[in-house]
Structure 1
């Protein structure tokens, strides 16, 4: 669908006017031939345009080891970026250029801001890190994995900067430490463990919530530990005894980008064609699968309760029979036998095993 030019030009023009108003409260506006200062511009010929702020002026150039370096101008660009961030805009800087690209922040900011895309421009790095908010490349890489690592770093810096805009000054020194502890990850799952059997429900949050929560734990003097991808600390119940006896554990874990759906992801648990086929049959039949996420060191986080499928012999895919079991609290899988039998599978109940546990055989095995 082609964007209507008049509406797009209006949007770009409105953005340029708004940015100009924000910056003019602190910086001089460039007047060609008369006054050095900033100017809001675009070199795009498509709409909506990618707007950037450029500073015109050479009098701030400072000598450094015999060379003229725009140390003062770099400082001005840094101040411009901060002013626009505080005003709620999305800002970005492209490699090798000082200009500050700017756009409105999207209404929905729950997804990742940075993505990795192939670069088809000759004689340049084959991969780009793209800022989806301002639509400009902010990094390059020679391979996709390196590009993804750079994208994670940009994502972390972006959320960290957002956190700095909203927290009190006393929390500032702990944000960097919390950012390092968390590592990468856009979406985070929070769980409270109130005793060895009381695991509260997982609740999904954006990275910003996890960052501020962990920083506050550090501020309060809690010992925050990273165990694999999990970040956890113990805290006291509010208004309870001060001897620390009445406590519970707070656990943060990044939501897996490649979860194990319907099976346990231990590499020693061999998955043959029958296991994958049964997972497909049950999912297509509307039975909810278990979802395993990041490693906890001695297991994997269960992000969603449901059925789990495994071979009759976990180390040998040639052994006939596939187990299907209910994983989680109060999981009802009453429709499993009916769904499998309708697809031609033979099913028998294993009464001596876990409740709701069946062994199934694909149609070819009878």
Structure 2
């Protein structure tokens, strides 16, 4: 059985650190104080969920008459102070408490999760802050909850971006504009495009990287454009060997899709024969192409090169079949395996005479 003592010690230390921080700004609640804060927890199990509660009059009385700012105002100020100090903070919608915890070591994943409510009444979906383990919003439907979670992820990353650029407040207005341009998306893919055919490697980043770099491009006067979910601008490469004019290349940022198209091009018609061919190729371990978010009219981001299956138009001589070819560099070994894999599953495979390096395949009869 795992001991809860380390968790208890951690909770005590967290409470002590939070108390020390806030005591330098606000009065502590006590017998001699009419108003003040207190750090506490009602949890009986570990790890505890710690929160800060303000004890005071509500609504507020004028300061001249001995009143304070009011519970709501102090709650907001406490949350701001804790956030600025780097703590994870949650303000549940149905109370006056400020829940607080240390930020996790790994912050690359989503902070907010959508879960069904266990209560038989009220909204049936909760948006949970996974860092503090309390809900931060409620929603009537799962779709509304997902939208709320995505919105909170954006606000969370925008706040983090402001915190890491505290010494550069001139960037903040550009951060807000960059957030609008990027839209939703937790994980982002960046790519440099030099000329038409020189595509650099896709590099995966957290949202804060896309946010800060887009904001810096805006501040530098770059013309940032949108094509579908893609945000891009042009940069100048360093001048080498006395070149008169620097090379211009495009910088692209696209969110990684949560519902990618595996093995197909999303803009083409898809049918059951395609699905069967993809299933056979995937089962054999072939690397299938992955398309993600739309990046303009009729175009989608290629997130991973691989084998693509396209429906073949029936000719009258054969039943409907498929074309199989490779998308991206270095896929020769994969495409060479296509005939043997499909033939082993009973398919008829021929060289596609209309496209070099591709195959035409037809499913087993019957």
TM norm structure 2: 0.89
Q: Which residue of 2 aligns with 1:102?
A: 100
Instruction: Give CA deviations for 1:324-345 in whole Å, capped at 9, x if unaligned.
Output: 1101123222222222222232
Q: CA deviation at 1:91?
A: 0.7
In structure 2, how many angstroms separate the alpha carbons of the residues matched to 1:110 and 1:295?
Answer: 24
| CA distance 1:166–1:242, shift in 2 (3 Å) | farther
CA distance in 1, matches of 2:84, 2:59: 25
CA–CA separation in structure 2 for the residues paired with 1:253 and 1:310: 25
d(CA) in 2 for partners of 1:123 and 1:201? 50
Shift of 1:231: 0.9
CA contact (8 A) 1:74 1:98 kept: yes
Secondary structure, aligned partner of 1:363: coil
Partner of 1:25: 24
1:43 pairs with 2:45: no
Whether the aligned pair in 1 keeps the contact of 2:314 and 2:321 (CA below 8 Å) is no
Query: 2 CA distance for matches of 1:32 and 1:310?
Result: 76
What SS does structure 1 have at the residue aligned with 2:37?
strand
CA positional deviation for 1:237? 2.5
> May I ask how many residue pairs the two structures share in their alignment?
355
Structure 1 segments unaligned to the other structure (5+ residues): 64-68
- Unmatched 5+ residue regions in structure 2? none
2:339 maps to which residue? 337
| 1:284-363 superposed matches below 5 A | 284-298=283-297, 299-313=299-313, 319-332=319-332, 333=334, 334-350=336-352, 352-363=353-364
For each residue in 1:113-157, what CA deviation from the matched residue of structure 2 results, as whole angstroms up to 9, or x when unmatched? Answer: 111111131221111111111111111111111111111110000
Structure 1 pair 243–257 and aligned structure 2 pair: CA distance change class (3 A): farther
Cα deviations by residue, 1:22-76 (Å, 9 ceiling, x for unpaired): 222332222245463221111222221111111123398146xxxxx98554333
Aligned to 2:252: 251
User: Partners of 2:17 and 2:126 in 1: how far apart?
Assistant: 30
Question: Is this contact kept in 2: 1:114–1:154, CA < 8 A?
Answer: yes
CA RMSD of aligned residues (A): 2.6
Corresponding residue for residue 281 of structure 1: 280
Distance 1:75 1:353, change over 3 A: same
User: How far off is 1:315 after superposition?
Assistant: 12
**Does the 8 Å contact 2:89/2:98 carry over to 1?**
yes
Counterparts of residues 163-202 of structure 1 (less than 5 Å): 163-167=161-165, 168-202=168-202
The structure 1 residue matched to 2:118, chosen from 120, 137, 144, is 120
**Aligned 8 A contact 2:56 2:70 in 1:** no
Q: 1:219 to 1:315 in 2, by over 3 A?
A: farther
Q: Relative to structure 2, which stretch is displaced further, 87-96 or 285-294? A: 87-96
CA distance in structure 1 between the aligned counterparts of 2:322 and 2:147, rounded to whole angstroms: 38
The CA deviation string for residues 155-193 of structure 1, in whole angstroms up to 9 with x for no partner, is 000000000001111211211111111110000111111
Corresponding residue SS for 2:11: helix
Q: In 2, Cα distance between the equivalents of 1:54 and 1:239? A: 59
Q: CA separation of 1:347/1:314 partners in 2, compared to 1, >3 Å: closer, same or farther?
A: closer
Q: Distance in 1 between the 2:172 and 2:315 partners?
A: 50
